Amino acid sequence: MSENPTNATYVGRPLDRVDGRLKVTGGATYAHEHVEIPNTVHGYILGAAIAKGRIARIDTAEAENAPGVLHVMTHRNAPAQPDFGPPVTPTVPEVFTRARPMLSDDRVRFYDEPVALIVAETFEAARAAASLIQIRYETEPGRYDMEAHLAEAYAPPRTNAGFETDSAIGDFEGAFAAAEVKLDVSYTTPYQHHNPMEPHATTAVWSGDNLTIYTGAQTIANFRAGIANTLQLPLERVRIVSPFIGGGFGAKLIVHADTVLAALAARVVGRPVKIALTRQQMFANAGHRAKMKHDVRLGADRSGRLVATSHDVFSATSGFEEFCEQTAVFVRALYASETRRTRHRLIGLDTNRGEWMRSPGEAPGMLAFECAIDEMAEQLGLDPIEFRIRNEPTRDPERDVPFSTRNLVACMQEGAMRFGWEKRSSQPRAMRDGRFLVGYGMAAAMRPNYIGTTRARVRLSGNGQLTVQADMTDIGTGTYTILTQIAADATGLPPSAITVELGDSNFPRTAGSGGSWGAASSGSAVHNACLVLRDRIVAEARRADPSLKAEDAIFANGEIRWAGRGEPLGQLVGRLAPSGIEAEGQVERGDDYRNFSQHSYGAHFVEAGVDMDTGEIRIRRMLSTIGAGRILNQKTARSQVIGGMVWGIGAALMEESVLDPRYGHFVNHDLAEYHVPVNADVPSLDVVFLEEHDDKANVLGSKGIGELGVCGTGAAVANAIYNATGVRVREFPITLDKLLAGLA
């Protein structure tokens, strides 16, 4: 069978989002918007007013008698659920699918942990009744201050995604002691919260013994397994529906309180139950990025060659469930160094667990490490880009395998040329624009490239319409559009003839959206399914006309062609298989992931201005040069990177969740006090893609891009501020109080 003569007619184009019209007209239905479900009632979660202790007494009588209230659920009457299990970090994939019981006992493990669920005819009635519940707690002393317990840090059995807790190459201590130039610094990154535009919400509907969950889920299969294990149901009795998600960023990878409690309550009251977390509730019940201390030690010779590299990470975690972000793992593959050591340590506190937050590992880790690299370059008297180039590895430094592709140096050099890096002064405080001190900063970006086991189904009907089905989700990244483009190229059909259906556990199982593996995994499966479909179409045609040769078939322009003769695909299928032709395809991680080191790369450049009197920081412009294999859609890819760049501004300058060390609650638990960048904070952003086809990554040649934009971006901001002011702030975010002290 011949390939399409146009080969890549649609993949790579900046095609508009095929679901865009639905979203802007209100036709896209999100988790809380399923008004078509009859007899739905509302649940409201009441959270604990302490962070550690137990419920000594709870009186729900007044709430139960309140107008419109149908049921009040507490630990005294909640349906039986399995035990949560040991606190030790579970193996992959158990961390996603383990049972997560709610209201299962009288213990309070973190502030705002659910202690009651009120179900009523309206949301307002449920919320009002919650205020009538009287609870007496027995409070216990808690651990809330990470710094106060650093001496008790311990090594977990593994880090997130199954990476080894520690790694060591050579004698680091000996090499560091003998190094001609040394750097020994500590950075601190704060608690952060995801805050997607759509808060967590669930509508649960029972039909006999079968449960349907409408929610925002990044990974349908993990949600399905998590709720089935919690409710002790056979997997086939649980259906998850999540066609549209208003942002996830890792916060919607596992089931949370809204999903479990809605399912429990719906069965008890015999009606569909809808629950949405308030923005304030999400700060305790929807995951967060943990606070971390980063100890970075670098040793180099006078020529700028690293001879010793160490990154130790101390991270807060929950006392009842570990989460160890793989914060230093990227150091194992970023730069060459004769000796290298990375270590991860946890400090157990009385908070809810940390969770995956966009670019887990690289986002906080590169924020600290790429600032340290900048500091080392200054000590050596080297340009920051030149220092990085001198430590560019030819093979993966720890795994000793070749890179599938690696264009980090090209990203830095191309970015420097486009940004005008040659105008940068190596002397801080040397550039000025009126009252503003001006500085340039840069940082490298790297993110592992993954692929997950994924299946997809395609069906071509007699009217020429192709339907693509997978339980893959679109969290705003453009999945509907990208899969449309891939299917169009693989079948020769126009995008208008293709319908993509996602977010339903009745569809073939995928790896879902997360870890920047979504497009590559689902796209490869769709591509492969379309190739199987083409084979079946050819087989049907040859049954009708054995003289046709399979190798001569060409799929293009909505037709199948043999020796100059063409027939519309829909017409052929309608004539030979009126009920349509269906096929499935799959993809899974193969030997190329073991035999090659696979990453996406980039370089970020920032121009920052700092008012010399007030310390006001203004980001003036930013540029990111990105090497992520083949770009599937220029428009959606650019949006992904720009979103990451904005996250980098937030991480460097403003994002911080403040945990009260006395009472264990996040005090700035809303968007009025948890500051994120707004339009006035975001300057001109530019993105340049350095495309290359990585044939080791997947059949499409693409690499993950969704999280790459935030990797190192905050460090580029911090490095620009240092270049402008000569003030190195090592405790993020860089706020006025920290900067002004140095400016004075």
Q: Give catalytic residue positions.
A: 707
Number of C-beta neighbours around residue 14 at 10 A: 12
User: Rounded distance, CA 443 to CA 624, Å?
Assistant: 10
DSSP class of residue 293? E
User: Rounded distance, CA 438 to CA 720, Å?
Assistant: 8
Residue 599, CA distances (Å) to 334, 454, 591, 642, 694 in order = 10, 20, 16, 19, 10
Residues 6+ apart with CB under 8 A from 82: 99, 101, 229, 230, 232
Determine whether 680 is exposed, middle or buried from the number of CB atoms within 10 Å of its CB (0-12, 13-18, 19+): exposed
Phi and psi angles of residue 632, each rounded to the nearest 5 degrees, phi first: -80, -35
DSSP class of residue 516? T
Half-sphere exposure of 519 (CA within 13 A, CB side): 32
Residue 733: is the preceding peptide bond cis (ω within 30°)? yes
User: Rounded distance, CA 316 to CA 313, Å?
Assistant: 10
User: Rounded distance, CA 445 to CA 523, Å?
Assistant: 24
- Look at residues 203, 367, 392, 421 and name the one whose alpha carbon lies nearest to residue 305: 392
- Look at residues 346, 280, 341, 283 and name the one whose alpha carbon lies nearest to residue 307: 341
Q: What is the dihedral of CA 262, 267, 270, 273, to 10 degrees?
A: 10
Beta bridge partners of 609: 438, 618
Q: What's the token pair of residue 454?
A: 């994924």
Phi and psi angles of residue 306, each rounded to the nearest 5 degrees, phi first: -65, 130
Range list of β-strands (E), 495-616: 498-501, 554-556, 559-562, 565-568, 581-587, 599-611
User: Rounded distance, CA 532 to CA 1, Å?
Assistant: 11
* Helix (H) or strand (E) run with residue 689 in it: strand 684-689
| Contact (CB, 8 A) for 413 and 568 | no
CB burial string 594-627: b at 16+ within 10 A, e below: eebbbbbbbbbbbbbbbebeebebebbebbbbbb
| Contact (CB, 8 A) for 215 and 203 | yes
| Contact (CB, 8 A) for 592 and 405 | no
- Look at residues 243, 186, 310, 187 and name the one whose alpha carbon lies nearest to residue 30: 243
Q: Taking the CA atoms of the chain, what radius of gyration do you get in angstroms?
A: 27
| Contact (CB, 8 A) for 205 and 266 | yes
Residues in the chain: 744
Q: What's the gap between Cα 354 and its chain centre?
A: 14
Q: What's the token pair of residue 69?
A: 């209230």
User: Rounded distance, CA 184 to CA 726, Å?
Assistant: 18
